[in-house]
């Protein structure tokens, strides 16, 4: 099932179905329990009414057994003989013995052995009490037992109709000490009919209700997912046209779909900027490569035609420039690809001194100041950080008039390398633009002297990927100062 709407509708329908079935079972069980308790109470009341008459020594033939159609009654003595029974009771099950015919010997007056004749002595009374001891407190003479009655399920056939009943058993003792057991039943027909009606109503209404839930869920999900379909369609159109200037529609709601649309548009904006930046990069790189390649080709063609006119030094210079530009482009490509720098621990003071000592052809001397007694270690790639320092020194040497200074300090978990010159400085509104690729502020200087405009862009990218920053400000001497800040080795760890 590939449709979200179908899965949502099916899931909601199944959940509602399970909930309704569980609720229906709970309702039926509660209803059955209440009606069963009601039947138990009716049976107990009917049994106690008859037991009360027996406690008052009402003769068996004169007992008022109540409504014999709804509450069948049977009375037995201590020997289990039936002494009284409802007139229309034809059969009984689940209430002990199934006998429903009165025993003539039990109801015959006199005789002394039926416990009802009027000549029962104390010995007989005691013996009956002992033999009938079943762990329950026997009621006193002329009383009805106050114990909770025993209630059991059973059936009874009254006037030819067989039905289910709940039978309550209550004991009563006559004034002569004879203990009699009264069993009265209450029909379960009403309980069964009520449960059956509720069950049938639930079974009849459940399919319609589930169909309604499925339809409502389908419609609501369809309405909720309509903006998603619009977003998908627009993205498909953008993919087909490759026009990154297009944007997906943003619904006016503030829900997750609206946030998805806004995030998608933000992603498209970032992608458009990235593609545009890549296009500019390729165009600028092609432009930068064309000049030295054209110059080198011209020199080689002239040398081939007139060997005595070959400018070897110029050809070497153009080759070096091509090599440096290719190295810059390769490093930028690796940085854009997300290459992680190595994590070696470096002494930036020693690294600065080493880089300065290798620059023997600079027209401006470089002064190095390294803080003594401070830990100047940072973690990172030695080659990339050396490239940053070299690029900053190249930039300062091109713009300085008489001096370039490098100061290495530490503090607050950071190591700082500040490269300052005494040139014209960088205008405040251009201090971020100079870190863009192929940007040169001095359009009057030649490309041979000014480079390709990649040094500062590479330096900032490397600093950022090392967890540091590279900023530009005004030097104390009036020129520009570039400050490289990196996390100290202990902080980075």
Q: Is residue 355 part of a domain?
A: yes
Triad 210, 213, 217: Cα angle to 5°? 145
Question: Can you tell me the distance from the alpha carbon of 145 to that of 156, in angstroms, rounded to the nearest whole number?
Answer: 25
Q: Is residue 15 part of a domain?
A: no
- pLDDT at position 131: 45
Contact 83, 75 (CB under 8 A): yes
End-of-domain residue from the set 315, 336, 357? 336
Q: Is residue 49 part of a domain?
A: yes
Instruction: Kindly report the pTM of this predicted structure.
Output: 0.50
Q: Are residues 421 and 376 in the same domain?
A: yes
Neighbours of 325 (CB within 10 A): 18
Give the CATH number for residue 364. Answer: 3.30.565.10
Neighbours of 227 (CB within 10 A): 20
Q: Are residues 101 and 57 in the same domain?
A: yes
Q: Is residue 219 part of a domain?
A: no
SS3 of the chain: CCCHHHHHHHHHHHHHHHHHHHHHHHHHHHHHHHHHHHHHHHHHHHHHHHHHHHHCCCCHHHCCCCCCCCCCEEEECCCCCEEEECCCEEEEECCCCCCCCCCHHHHCCCCCCCCCCCCCCHHHHHHHHHHCCCCCCCCCCCEECCCCCEEEEEEEEECCEEEEEEEEEEEEECCCCCEEEEEEEEECHHHHHHHHHHHHHHHHHHHHHHHHHHHHHHHHHHHHHHHHHHHHHHHHHHHHHCCCCCCCCCCCCCCHHHHHHHHHHHHHHHHHHHHHHHHHHHHHHHHHHHHHHHHHHHHHHHHHHCHHHCCHHHHHHHHHHHHHHHHHHHHHHHHHCCCCCCCEEEEHHHHHHHHHHCCCCCCCCEEEEECCCCCCEEEECHHHHHHHHHHHHHHHHHHCCCCEEEEEEEECCEEEEEEEECCCCCCHHHCCHHHCCCCCCCCCCCHHHHCCCCHHHHHHHHHHHCCCEEEEEECCCCCEEEEEEEEEHHHHC
Q: Are residues 27 and 135 in the same domain?
A: yes
Q: Is residue 231 part of a domain?
A: no
- pLDDT at position 106: 65
Give the closest residue to 177 by CA, choosing from 221, 120, 254, 101.
120
End-of-domain residue from the set 144, 168, 193? 193
- pLDDT at position 139: 62
Q: Are residues 323 and 357 in the same domain?
A: no
- pLDDT at position 450: 53
Q: Are residues 154 and 27 in the same domain?
A: yes
Q: Are residues 330 and 398 in the same domain?
A: no
Question: Can you tell me the distance from the alpha carbon of 471 to that of 378, in angstroms, rounded to the nearest whole number?
Answer: 18
- Tokens 């023997």, residue located: 360
Using only C-alpha atoms, the chain has a radius of gyration, in whole angstroms, of 53
Q: Are residues 324 and 359 in the same domain?
A: no
Q: Which residues constitute the domain of residue 157?
A: 22-193
Q: Are residues 320 and 354 in the same domain?
A: no
Q: Is residue 240 part of a domain?
A: no
Question: Can you tell me the distance from the alpha carbon of 159 to that of 142, in angstroms, rounded to the nearest whole number?
Answer: 33
Q: Are residues 318 and 353 in the same domain?
A: no
Question: For the chain (length 493 residues), average pLDDT per consecutive 10?
Answer: 79 90 91 90 90 88 79 87 85 80 62 38 41 52 79 87 89 87 89 89 88 89 84 89 87 84 91 83 77 83 82 80 82 77 87 90 87 87 91 90 92 92 89 83 49 82 92 89 90 53
Q: Is residue 3 part of a domain?
A: no
End-of-domain residue from the set 336, 363, 396? 336
Give the CATH number for residue 290. Answer: 1.10.287.130
Question: Can you tell me the distance from the alpha carbon of 47 to that of 166, in angstroms, rounded to the nearest whole number?
Answer: 12
How many domains does the chain contain in total? 3
User: Alpha carbon of 337 to those of 101, 109, 286, 332: distances in Å?
Assistant: 102, 115, 20, 8
- Tokens 């990927």, residue located: 465
Q: Is residue 413 part of a domain?
A: yes
- pLDDT at position 121: 35
Contacts (Cβ under 8 Å, ≥6 apart) of 232:
none
The token pair that represents 310 in the structure block = 């070959």
Q: Are residues 28 and 139 in the same domain?
A: yes
Q: Are residues 188 and 56 in the same domain?
A: yes
Q: Are residues 443 and 426 in the same domain?
A: yes
Triad 467, 347, 389: Cα angle to 5°? 65
């Amino acid at each position: 099932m590939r449709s979200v709407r179908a899965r949502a509708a099916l899931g909601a329908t199944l959940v509602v179905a399970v909930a309704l079935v569980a609720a229906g079972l709970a309702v039926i069980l509660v209803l059955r329990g209440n009606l069963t308790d009601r039947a138990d109470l009716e049976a107990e009341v009917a049994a106690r009414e008859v037991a009360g008459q027996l406690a008052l020594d009402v003769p068996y033939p004169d007992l008022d057994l109540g409504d014999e159609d709804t509450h069948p009654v049977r009375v037995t003595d201590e020997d289990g003989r039936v002494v009284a029974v409802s007139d229309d009771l034809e059969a009984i099950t689940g209430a002990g013995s199934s006998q429903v015919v009165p025993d003539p010997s039990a109801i015959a007056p006199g005789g002394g052995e039926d416990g009802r004749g009027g000549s029962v002595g104390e010995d007989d009374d005691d013996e009956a009490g002992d033999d009938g001891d079943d762990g329950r407190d026997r009621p006193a003479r002329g009383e009805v037992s106050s114990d909770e009655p025993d209630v059991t399920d059973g059936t009874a056939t009254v006037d030819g109709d067989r039905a289910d009943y709940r039978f309550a058993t209550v004991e009563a003792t006559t004034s002569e000490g004879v203990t009699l057991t009264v069993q009265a039943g209450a029909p379960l027909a009403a309980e069964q009919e009520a449960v059956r009606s509720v069950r049938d109503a639930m079974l009849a209404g459940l399919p319609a209700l589930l169909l309604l839930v499925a339809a409502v869920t389908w419609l609501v999900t369809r309405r909720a997912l309509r903006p998603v379909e619009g977003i998908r369609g627009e993205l498909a159109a953008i993919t087909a046209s490759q026009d990154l200037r297009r944007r997906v529609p943003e619904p006016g709601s503030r829900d997750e779909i609206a946030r998805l649309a806004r995030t998608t548009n933000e992603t498209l904006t970032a992608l458009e900027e990235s593609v545009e930046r890549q296009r500019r990069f390729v165009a600028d790189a092609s432009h930068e490569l064309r000049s030295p390649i054209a110059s080198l080709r011209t020199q080689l063609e002239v040398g081939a035609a007139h060997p005595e006119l070959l400018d070897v030094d110029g050809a070497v210079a153009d080759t070096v420039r091509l090599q440096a530009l290719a190295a810059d482009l390769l490093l930028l490509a690796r940085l854009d690809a997300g290459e992680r720098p190595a994590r070696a621990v470096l002494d930036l003071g020693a690294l600065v001194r080493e880089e300065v000592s290798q620059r023997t052809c600079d027209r401006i001397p470089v002064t190095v100041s390294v803080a003594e007694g401070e830990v100047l270690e940072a973690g990172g790639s030695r080659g990339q950080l050396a490239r940053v320092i070299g690029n900053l020194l190249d930039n300062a040497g091109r713009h300085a008039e008489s001096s370039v200074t490098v100061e290495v300090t530490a503090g607050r978990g950071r190591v700082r390398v500040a490269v300052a010159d005494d040139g014209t400085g960088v205008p405040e509104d251009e201090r971020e633009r100079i870190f863009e690729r192929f940007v040169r502020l001095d359009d009057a200087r030649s490309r041979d002297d000014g480079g390709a405009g990649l040094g500062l862009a590479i330096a900032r990218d490397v600093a950022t990927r090392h967890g540091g920053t590279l900023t530009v400000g005004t030097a104390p001497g009036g020129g520009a100062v570039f400050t490289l800040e990196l996390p100290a080795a202990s902080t980075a760890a």
